[in-house]
Chains A and B, each alone.
Chain A
């Protein structure tokens, strides 16, 4: 059965800290991995990773994929209180007709002032 596992489940840091969130996966027909940020309601898209070893970067956030070891990390540097959210990792299941997303449980990040 396809699965996506995230760690840690929750994390409390202080503003300015750097955090690393982990996502491992076991999915057949793997082609890509996505990171979403979920604040109050809708998951908002952060990154899509398809190639191993190529870092994607957006401001203080960056992410990388390792297709050999089947994991991805999401780094946030110089954290701010606005980074507090649940970070979701998801992998499309390309074995089906429409690439439904398989989500991990998420990592709840709380950034304290």
Chain B
């Protein structure tokens, strides 16, 4: 069964460092998302991406964040200068175009720990 894959599964980084989280969405999907889940809190939307550009972003997704789809398969989330409060589980998701009512499939997540 096709799945969304994310790497790495766990990343520890020092405050102020840049990190890149990688995702390979399901191949025929057209909508891509990043969500995050701070420990003990709800899953929150960060950004959606369609047709090689950001479609929507939340207020969390400030200038420190960027997304790219550099080669038609990978979908990356970059945090330029990490802060302690960026520590969270980051989930990538993708969705088929299909009808409006199609579910999003999630990757296993990257646990980011900023120290």
Interfacial residues, chain A to chain B (CB-CB below 8 A): 31-32, 34, 36, 41-45, 48, 50, 88, 90, 94, 96-106
Contact B42 A41 (CB under 8 A): no
Task: Please pick, from B33, B45, B103, the residue contacting A48 in the complex, using a CB distance under 8 A.
Answer: B103
Q: Which of B15-50 contact A (CB under 8 A)?
A: 31, 33, 35, 41-45, 48-50
Question: Scoring B residues 44 to 86 as 1 if CB is less than 8 Å from chain A, else 0, what string do you get?
Answer: 1100111000011010000000000000000000000000000
Question: For chain B, what secondary structure do more than half of its interface residues adopt (helix, strand, loop), or is it mixed?
Answer: strand
Interfacial residues, chain B to chain A (CB-CB below 8 A): 4, 31, 33, 35, 41-45, 48-50, 55-56, 58, 89, 91, 93, 95, 100-101, 103-109
Residues of B within 8 A of A102 (CB): 45
Complex Cα distance, B91 from A45, in Å, reads 14
Task: Please pick, from A31, A34, A90, A100, the residue contacting B100 in the complex, using a CB distance under 8 A.
Answer: A31
| Least CB separation from A48: chain B residue | B103
Contact A105 B42 (CB under 8 A): yes
Contact A97 B107 (CB under 8 A): no
Q: A98-B50, A103-B44 are in contact. Are A42 and B109 (CB under 8 A)?
A: yes
Task: Please pick, from B44, B58, B101, B108, the residue contacting A41 in the complex, using a CB distance under 8 A.
Answer: B108
Contact A104 B50 (CB under 8 A): no
| Least CB separation from A4: chain B residue | B42
Question: For chain A, what secondary structure do more than half of its interface residues adopt (helix, strand, loop), or is it mixed?
Answer: loop
Complex Cα distance, B35 from A90, in Å, reads 13
Q: A42-B106, A97-B55, A98-B56 are in contact. Are A31 and B101 (CB under 8 A)?
A: yes
Q: How far is the CB of B11 from chain A (nearest CB, A)?
A: 14
Contact B100 A94 (CB under 8 A): yes
Task: Please pick, from B42, B104, B107, the residue contacting A106 in the complex, using a CB distance under 8 A.
Answer: B42
Complex Cα distance, B47 from A79, in Å, reads 36
Residues of A within 8 A of B42 (CB): 103-106
Contact A48 B101 (CB under 8 A): yes
Residues of B within 8 A of A41 (CB): 89, 108-109
